[in-house]
Amino acid sequence: MSKFWSPAIESLVPYTPGEQPRIANLTKLNTNENPYPPAPAVTAVIQAFNTERLRLYPDPDASTLKQALAAEFSTETSKIFVGNGSDEVLALAFMAFFRQPKPLLMPETTYSFYDVYANLFAIEHTKIPLTSDFQIELDNYPSENGGIIFANPNAPTGVALPLSAIKTLLERNRDSVVLVDEAYVDFGAESAASLVDQFPNLLVVQTFSKSRSLAGLRIGYAIGSAELIDGLERVKNSFNSYPLDMLAIEAACASLSDKNYFEQTCAQIIATREQTRQALETLGFEVLPSATNFLFAKHRELAGSELMAYLRERNILVRHFSKPLIANYLRITVGTDTEMQLLIDTLKQHPAIETKPAP
């Protein structure tokens, strides 16, 4: 602690992102990045970009991107918000909606940044345990709350809720904001975006970082009632007028223009995921059902930390969380078929791992 710091920051425990090491020949399955490049249209707009324009500020409203997203979701631009990655969108949403007299509710096991935001903005919050099979049970969320946030599919478990469960929650929770973080939704879950017109308290947050292969450009967005979007805009315009740069705005629009590429790469990742899941099961792993581009898996005999270290020594990076409830699990990003084959082959070489028939 420094005497120059605001007293409130002493107790902050910042979020720890997955490692971004610069080592050659690394198989990087630790930060849920897409193994495929962004759509060819993205490359085209970046290569054709007239850099003389960079002397000017970008459009503070990123109107072209809002229009493209509104078309994508068959809605109006007044229901779309954009930001510097979905992390910034989430941070602004915490400021705009969750600084309430009642506590914010979140799953006990979920994206660990929620807890960090709540501490940054001094938001009282209550963590609701998952079920024993790592499901979010929305019936356990009390109606007295200052907001509800969860990821669907959840992270780092990969498990998805059906849309019907979210709708039931919304029907009985109409007085506070329900934020559904859909960072991974394009890999097989049902989006709640279709419910936005029915529920003015629903905010759906998505990102270009995973399914659109644009983690390097930092583009996130939210879909919600004009009332919620207006709240986000007020906070954003009191914080940073221009969070999205010109190249990010144009690349995001280009990505949205190529539906085929998007659908094909998502389908390929889903196919690779299911093959990998089966292969892991034959090696003695229990794998949670995943609707994401990662698998959450534990070996029946080996500790998660030991397996992570074993793989790391062999230049394969996976993510491990040293938290009691999930310490035996590895979070393994779905890469290309070749990368996943290398993972499986490397695991097979572990002296304590034997191949068994699938259960």
Is the Cβ of residue 93 or residue 160 nearer to a second copy in the bound state? 93
CA 177 to CA 175: how far, in whole Å? 7
**Strand pairing class (202-207; 220-224):** antiparallel
By CB under 8 A, tell whether 33 contacts a second copy: yes
95 binds a second copy (CB under 8 A): yes
Among 148, 183, 246, 253, which residue interacts with a second copy (rule: CB under 8 A)? Answer: 246
Closest CB to a second copy among residues 57, 172? 57
Specify whether the CB–CB gap between 80 and 70 falls below 8 A. yes
- The residue among 222, 223, 221, 219 whose CA lies nearest residue 245 is 219
d(CA 72, CA 49): 24
State the minimum distance, in angstroms, from the CB of residue 82 to a second copy: 13
Distance CA 54, CA 342 (A): 42
Query: How far apart, in Å, do the first and last CA atoms of the chain sit?
Result: 53
Q: Is 80 in the site for a second copy (CB under 8 A)?
A: no
In the set 145, 157, 176, 207, which binds a second copy (CB under 8 A)?
176
> Quick one: which segment of 128-136, 173-181, 188-196, 313-321 binds a second copy (CB under 8 A)?
173-181
Under the criterion CB under 8 A, does residue 103 sit at the interface with a second copy?
no
Q: Does 25 bind a second copy (CB under 8 A)?
A: no
| 117 forms part of the interface with a second copy (CB under 8 A) | yes
Residues touching a second copy, count (CB under 8 A): 86
Closer to a second copy by CB, 92 or 287: give it: 92
Query: 36 or 73, CB closer to a second copy?
Result: 36
Question: Phi/psi at 299 (nearest 5 deg)?
Answer: -85, 145
Between 80 and 248, CB nearer to a second copy: 248
The answer to whether 269 and 334 are in contact (CB under 8 A) is yes
Q: Which two tokens stand for residue 354?
A: 């034997």
